[in-house]
Amino acid sequence: MESVWQDDWHLARAYLAWQAELGATDAICDAPVNRCDLPAKLTKPSAPPPAAQAAPVAAEPQVDPVAQAQAMAQAAGDLDALQAAMGAYEHCELKRGARNLVFCDGQPGARVMIVGEAPGREEDRVGKPFVGEAGQMLDRMFAAIGMGRDTPDPARAIYITNVLPWRPPQNRDPSTEERAMMRPFVLRHIELAAPDILILMGRVSAGTVLERDVRITKERGEWARVLGRPTIPMLHPAYLLRNPAAKREAWADLLSLQAKLRELT
């Protein structure tokens, strides 16, 4: 019969199907197997080797971005060193998406220092503050009282910087964290530039330097003191472009600035 199955595959397959129809489920050997018998000795599965105990990983020390900014800013002995320190500061994510670090423009040693808010698209491209449409408005404002960033005479020159040296995406307002991180650099910038008078241009600048919420439309023109020098908040030129009627208040602030310069002289 075995030789017949070997010669006729179809016959063997039919016989196997017949066995399955009869209920056969297992193939058996020539000798019977008692499946109820236990093996003579059960082998206990060996336990896996104990995992090597990982060495404790030391937690990385927490870095305070503001404290590090303060240390780096205070270590800067001049404006060039301060610019280098700001370029080496790694905790502000705005740096990752900016083209340039926008540090300053105008004349170091000028009697008047302006602190703006943050670079815009044109400022990020050029690497200088206030070079876009708002910057052109600012130049016209100060030209009206005989001052400018390109004037070589320190008595009539202005020196300009921003709270943030890097452009926020889509020109959004700087966050509270970003302003807190950069404030030590701004204060050190004021100390090193040593102007006679400080102008805080806009709500963000005034709130950051004065370290409180500022309603710029209410507090503009009100003199304060920062680092021992007269300080005046003013409306940002971008605000004046959107609200031309506010130019009257801006002109009043410029006249107040002019009077303060004469008083200090």
Say yes or no to pLDDT of 8 above 60. Answer: yes
φ, ψ of residue 233 to 5 degrees: the values are -75, 140
3-state helix, strand, coil in the chain (%, to 5): 45, 10, 45
**How far apart (Å, rounded) are the C-alpha atoms in residues 34 and 39?**
11
- pLDDT higher than 90, residue 113: yes
Helix (H/G/I), strand (E/B), else coil: 142: helix
Give ∠ CA 189-193-199 in degrees, rounded to 5.
Answer: 80
On the question of pLDDT at 67 being above 80, the answer is yes
Q: What is the mean pLDDT of the chain?
A: 89
pLDDT digits (tens, 9 = 90+) for 213-227: 999 999 999 999 999
Helix, strand, or coil (residue 184): helix
Q: Which residues pair with 158 in a beta bridge?
A: 112
C-alpha–C-alpha distance, residues 72 and 12, integer Å: 90
Identify the residue whose tokens are 């202005």: 158
What radius of gyration, in Å, describes the C-alpha atoms of the chain? 39
Per-residue model confidence (pLDDT) at position 19: 74
Cα–Cα distance measured from residue 128 to residue 124, given in angstroms and rounded to the nearest whole number: 7
- State the DSSP H helix or E strand holding residue 183, giving kind and residue range, or none if neither: helix 176-193
183 and 211 Cβ atoms separated by less than 8 Å: yes
CATH of 65-264, one of 2.60.120.10, 3.40.470.10, 3.40.1160.10, 3.10.310.10: 3.40.470.10
Enumerate the domain spans of the chain. Answer: 65-264
Give Cα 14 to chain centroid, integer Å. 77
Q: What is the mean pLDDT of residues 114-142?
A: 97
Place of tokens 């301060």: 82
Q: For position 81, what pLDDT does the model report?
A: 98
For the sheet containing 197-201, what is the strand order? 105-106, 158-162, 112-116, 197-201, 229-234, 224-226
The percentage of residues in the chain with a pLDDT greater than 90, rounded to a whole number, is 75
Lowest-confidence segment of 43-57, 109-123, 196-210 by average pLDDT: 43-57
Checking if the pLDDT of 3 tops 70, the result is no
Q: Indicate the pTM of the whole model.
A: 0.77
**Residue range 167-210, pLDDT digits in tens:** 999 999 999 999 999 999 999 999 999 999 999 999 999 999 99
Which H or E run includes 262? helix 247-264
β-pairing verdict for 224-226 and 112-116: unpaired
CB contact at 8 A, 164 and 117: yes
Q: 138 or 57: whose pLDDT is higher? A: 138
Confidence band of 14 (pLDDT split at 50, 70, 90): confident
Residue 22 has a pLDDT of 73
